[in-house]
A = this chain, B = another copy of it.
Amino acid sequence: MIEDDRILLSHGGGGEKMHRLIEDVFARGFSNPTLSSFEDASVFSIENGSLAFTTDSYTVKPLFFSGGDIGKLAVCGTVNDLAMRGAKPLYLSASFIIEEGLELAILTKIVDSMAETLKSAGVKIISGDTKVVEKGCADGLFITTTGVGVVKEGIDISNRNARAGDRVIVSGPVGDHGVAVLLAREEFRLRAEISSDCAPLNGLVEQMLKYARNLHTLRDPTRGGVAAVLNEIARSSEVGIILEESEIPIREEVRGVSEMLGLDPLYIPNEGMLVCVCSEETTAALVRLMRGHKYSHMATAVGRVVASPKGVWLSTAIGGTRPLLMPEDEQLPRIC
């Protein structure tokens, strides 16, 4: 039993209080045979092969928003980063930096949300850490998750693999996550029915790879949005990418809120959406398959890869073409 209803510095101290927090809150949510709470590291077995490895810190503000919370985000974000290399995510670690005074009920709700998301993604947390810092030295809660997944032989999905002639598919509408988080902030007195798209995409990617093992690039456009990942792909593959503005799925509410705030949805982070580059022949059937999956029923081919001009270009609805540049400044801090 935890006798306090708020997190104290002693919950991070390595003693009885921390043990009880681990047992009552974390082990309850994350329990599995490979998670060894009181060992220095967890050990698991693996067959010959390649592993994917990725890490992200989550500092989203506020901790809860429509469609998700920092915990769901911390699981989905890292699961998705593994899936974007074609890996099957296996295990995560989760490290919590907690501001002294955080309500235990909030932490528990977040851990429960993580547990539910882990279950739906088929992934386990096998290592964790908790640090508590003094009031005013952190903003509520930061979570860092790191993931390990296996990459089957023959799978080679990378920023470097886009080729002239390829098509670019987005799995869903752009900007939902970022706008949902902005709306959850009290300083914006806006109301709109937008939920974060936050979701684990490993199941979707598994289905896509069953259909087409030779996908060239997969990316989940989080910070910097679709614009940033397309620029990264264009640079790494030394190609150009031309997007058809009229094809890009954007919810009316996202468009409306973005306009009011002076934001471009192509630069707004998503957390349950992916960009896929694949060969022309694969595209139509892949889009059909994706539309049958719950997380990508609005999948659309939105662009094509060209040898030149290099860079990313938006072919606008009114017939012009303008460069879609790499974002320079942070337009949306603390969205993920």
The residues of A with any CB-CB pair to B shorter than 8 Å are 8-19, 36, 38-59, 80-82, 84-85, 87, 91, 93-97, 126-129, 131-134, 136-139, 142, 144, 146-149, 151, 158-159, 218-220, 222-225, 228, 232, 235-236, 269, 326-334
CB-CB under 8 A for A53 and B148, given A40-B81, A85-B40: yes
Query: What's the nearest-Cβ distance from chain B to residue A81, in Å?
Result: 4
30 contacts between A and B (CB under 8 A): A9-B333, A10-B329, A12-B223, A13-B332, A13-B333, A14-B222, A14-B223, A14-B225, A15-B326, A16-B328, A17-B329, A38-B232, A39-B159, A40-B82, A40-B219, A41-B54, A46-B46, A46-B50, A55-B144, A59-B137, A93-B146, A97-B144, A127-B146, A129-B144, A132-B330, A132-B333, A133-B333, A137-B138, A144-B146, A148-B148
CB-CB under 8 A for A329 and B15, given A46-B50, A138-B139: yes
With A42-B54, A59-B133, A133-B139 given, can you name 20 additional A-B contacts, CB distance below 8 Å? A14-B224, A15-B327, A15-B330, A39-B85, A39-B159, A41-B81, A42-B52, A43-B51, A44-B50, A46-B46, A53-B126, A55-B127, A55-B129, A56-B95, A58-B131, A93-B146, A95-B146, A129-B144, A133-B333, A142-B142
* Residue contact B127 to A12, C-beta cutoff 8 Å: no
The answer, among B8, B84, B97, B128, for a CB contact under 8 Å with A41, is B84
A236–B39 CA distance with the chains assembled, in angstroms: 10
Query: What's the nearest-Cβ distance from chain B to residue A174, in Å?
Result: 14
Interface of chain A, helix or strand or loop or mixed?
mixed
A214–B85 CA distance with the chains assembled, in angstroms: 39
* Residue contact B328 to A151, C-beta cutoff 8 Å: no
The answer, among B36, B85, B97, B147, for a CB contact under 8 Å with A57, is B97
Question: Please, which residue of chain B has its CB at the minimum distance from the CB of A158?
Answer: B39
Among A53, A96, A222, the one with the most B-chain Cβ atoms within 10 Å of its Cβ is: A53
A236 partner residues in chain B, CB cutoff 8 A: 38
* Residue contact B144 to A95, C-beta cutoff 8 Å: yes
The answer, among B40, B127, B131, B326, for a CB contact under 8 Å with A19, is B326
